[in-house]
Amino acid sequence: MGFLFFRYNNNKVRYYLINYLRPFIPGFLYRIRLRKKLQKINNYDRGYISDRVNYYNKLSSIINLPEQASKIAGFRLAKEYKTYSFDIYEYIRYFDPSFKVSFVFGDITRVPEEPSVLKSRPIDGENFNSVLMKLNKVRHFIYINDRKKYTEKKDMLVFRGTKKQEHRVRFMEMYKDHPMCNVGTFIVDKDDNSLYGGWLPKGKQLEYKFILCLEGFDVSSNLKWVMSSNSIAVMPKPKYETWFMEGRLIPDFHYILIKDDYSDVEERLKYFIEHTSEALQIIRNANEYVKQFRNKKREGLISLMVLEKYFKMTGQKDN
């Protein structure tokens, strides 16, 4: 069981060690490398890079930040959101320490009043003030090397989650006793343990053809690793998005779409159990979608360019 946990999770010891050491390196060493870093766009498809930069940062006109916005020079690790701090510091260190940045850390489902760097935003509506960066990536961006073929897996849907969100509880209550589902919480509740399904690590969940990916407070945290596997993500149309660009996912192409009220789960599962070729095509499409996020050097370049555009569109850096 312990082996499965470490096999299918990021190395947090390495992650924390690198990020605690990073601030000890003088900032000017990074700033003098910025121009050279940005010039590496010539190594890639410019159109692709620009498309993603403009997707994450939709600012199209100059908007000045309020006076109270934080300067890079005053940036400190946030105790409550340490991984967010690590992930943004990895890139803001390349820019002028006098530049200001508005940060909004946590599971964000609203659009801030001023241009802000954050992890998540609503997909629909005017969300240009929400500038996405790849934050809390040690938890969210996990990829799977799935050795089990789809056709060898159980004809069932699996889910393990908390009872913190009403919509997740509603799903578990609807399908906890369904013969095609293994769903439940992994948290023991002394008052009501009726939804308890026991701990089920990723390696065990990968024994199922279908894995439920319900949004939590913002996005579904398991969606990335599920889409990199040989199982299929099952979920309603997402309402929020992160660096993973959930807003660009196509129903029944990248994942199996179910209704918001969950009433068609059995029907949808049966359909894809009977239509194996269509299920396998969804897996191929999902795996291909995930590939774009696995090029670390290109991801780093896009991150720098998102911030560079942020500083330009807040009037702090010349075009």
Question: Mind listing the pLDDT tens digit for each residue in 91-128?
Answer: 999 999 999 999 999 999 999 999 999 999 999 999 99
In this prediction, residue 129 has a pLDDT band, given cuts at 50, 70 and 90, of: very high
Tell me, yes or no, whether 53 lies in a domain.
yes
State the pLDDT at residue 242.
97
| C-alpha neighbours within 13 Å on the C-beta side of residue 119 | 23
- Domain count across the chain: 2
Q: What is the sign, positive or negative, of the torsion defined by CA atoms of 298, 303, 309, 315?
A: negative
Residues 57 and 186 occupy one common structural domain: no
Structure tokens at 154: 């159980």
Residues 136 and 172 occupy one common structural domain: no
State the pLDDT at residue 20.
85
Q: Region 143-151: what's the mean pLDDT?
A: 95
Residues 213 and 88 occupy one common structural domain: no
Tell me, yes or no, whether 193 lies in a domain.
yes
| Cβ 304 vs Cβ 94: under 8 Å | yes
State the pLDDT at residue 7.
65
Residues 247 and 262 occupy one common structural domain: yes
- Bridge partners for 220 per DSSP: none
Tell me, yes or no, whether 163 lies in a domain.
yes
- Bridge partners for 235 per DSSP: 257
User: What residue numbers bound the domain in which 206 lies?
Assistant: 150-291
Q: What are phi and psi of 97, to 5 degrees?
A: -65, -15
Quick check: 6 pLDDT over 80? no
Tell me, yes or no, whether 318 lies in a domain.
no
C-alpha span between 175 and 38 (Å, rounded):
50
Residue-wise pLDDT tens digits, 40-77: 999 999 999 999 999 999 999 999 999 888 899 988 87
Residues 187 and 305 occupy one common structural domain: no
State the pLDDT at residue 264.
98
Residues 107 and 223 occupy one common structural domain: no
**φ/ψ bin of 245: left (φ > 0), alpha (ψ from -120 to 50), beta (otherwise):** left
Structure tokens at 148: 């089990």
Tell me, yes or no, whether 203 lies in a domain.
yes
Residues 65 and 175 occupy one common structural domain: no
Residues 127 and 82 occupy one common structural domain: yes
Structure tokens at 275: 């239509």
Residues 18 and 120 occupy one common structural domain: yes
Residues 269 and 286 occupy one common structural domain: yes
Quick check: 162 pLDDT over 90? no
Residue-wise pLDDT tens digits, 191-211: 778 888 889 999 999 999 999
Tell me, yes or no, whether 167 lies in a domain.
yes
* Choice between 18 and 261, residue whose per-residue pLDDT is larger: 261
Tell me, yes or no, whether 319 lies in a domain.
no
Residues 102 and 200 occupy one common structural domain: no
pLDDT mean across residues, the chain: 93
Domain harbouring 255, CATH code = 3.40.50.2000
The Cα angle at residue 91 between residues 89 and 93, in degrees rounded to 5: 65
**Range of 12-26, 27-41, 225-239 with top mean pLDDT:** 225-239
Confidence (pTM): 0.92
Residues 209 and 84 occupy one common structural domain: no
Quick check: 291 pLDDT over 60? yes
Structure tokens at 304: 């720098």
Tell me, yes or no, whether 97 lies in a domain.
yes
| C-alpha neighbours within 13 Å on the C-beta side of residue 9 | 15
C-alpha span between 184 and 160 (Å, rounded):
5
User: Three-state DSSP class for 125?
Assistant: coil
Q: What is the sign, positive or negative, of the torsion defined by CA atoms of 191, 196, 202, 204?
A: positive
